[in-house]
Amino acid sequence: MKSVGEMSQGELAAYIDTHLREHGIQVVLSGGACVAIYSENKYISKDLDFIARFALDHKRVEAAMQEIGFHRQDRYYHHPGTSFYVEFMSGPPSVGEDPIGEILELDMSTGMLRIISPTDAVKDRLAAFYHWGDRQSLEQALLVALSKSIDLQRVKEWSDREGKGAEFEEFRRRLQS
């Protein structure tokens, strides 16, 4: 197996996910790392954001992460062999008020990675655009939507429930141009 320092972001995420699952800890990858994976690194993210599928026992997570060389500093886990850092958030996984619709499994050389779907990755990035005006997140949503097949109708319906129909139309116009 590759060393942690030789692993791509996706391989490292799969390695961590598989190790945690062996310890009964179920997580799913979300955030910017999903954008990087789905866009084949057209976007670069330095972090891995995992959301607990169920309850998150931080002591168990910390013990499992230490077994593979990660040490906690504030809310992040760092490994001396990589510049990627890891964060864990309480679940269940959701975007706004909506639960994550689909969790995909990507088989990688370092293990199995559970990751939110491209559609939910777009919604996740659009949430930051909608609620904080983060235009970089809009660009990330576009990267995913242009790289992978998404359910645009689900994104529209979610956007409407979030009260962000006008902002969705900006996304749709940019996507179609």
Mean residue pLDDT of the chain comes to: 95
Q: How far is CA 25 from the centre of its chain?
A: 17
Please report the pLDDT score of residue 96 as a whole number.
Answer: 77
pLDDT for 101 equals 77
pTM for the whole thing? 0.94
Tens digit of each residue's pLDDT (9 = 90 or more) over 53-78: 988 999 999 999 999 999 999 999 99
Task: Mark whether 9 and 58 lie in a shared domain.
Answer: yes
Examine the domain organization and report whether 139 and 104 are in the same domain: no
Q: Are residues 137 and 58 in the same domain?
A: no
What pLDDT does 42 receive? Answer: 93
* Domain identity same for 82 and 164: no
At 116, the pLDDT band (50, 70, 90 cuts) reads very high
* 140-168 confidence digits (pLDDT tens): 999 999 999 999 999 999 999 999 999 99
The token pair at 100 is: 């994550």
d(CA 18, CA 101) in angstroms, rounded, equals 22
Q: Which residue among 71, 94, 117 closes a domain?
A: 117
**Residues 113 and 59 both lie in one domain:** yes
**Residues 89, 166 within the same domain:** no
pLDDT band at 95 (very low <50, low <70, confident <90, very high): confident
Q: Looking at the structure, do residues 111 and 128 belong to the same domain, yes or no?
A: no
Which residue range(s) make up the domain with 50?
A: 4-117
Q: Which residue has the tokens 């990589």?
A: 82
Task: For residue 89, give the CATH number of its domain.
Answer: 3.30.460.40
Q: Judge if 80 and 146 occupy the same domain.
A: no
Look at 95 and 10; give whichever has higher pLDDT: 10
27 shares a domain with 81: yes
Mean pLDDT of 88-100: 87
102 or 156: whose pLDDT is higher?
156
Percent above pLDDT 90 for the chain: 89
Residues 99 and 109 in one domain: yes
Whether residue 14 is found in the same domain as residue 81? yes
Q: Are residues 36 and 112 in the same domain?
A: yes
Domain boundary among 79, 99, 117: 117
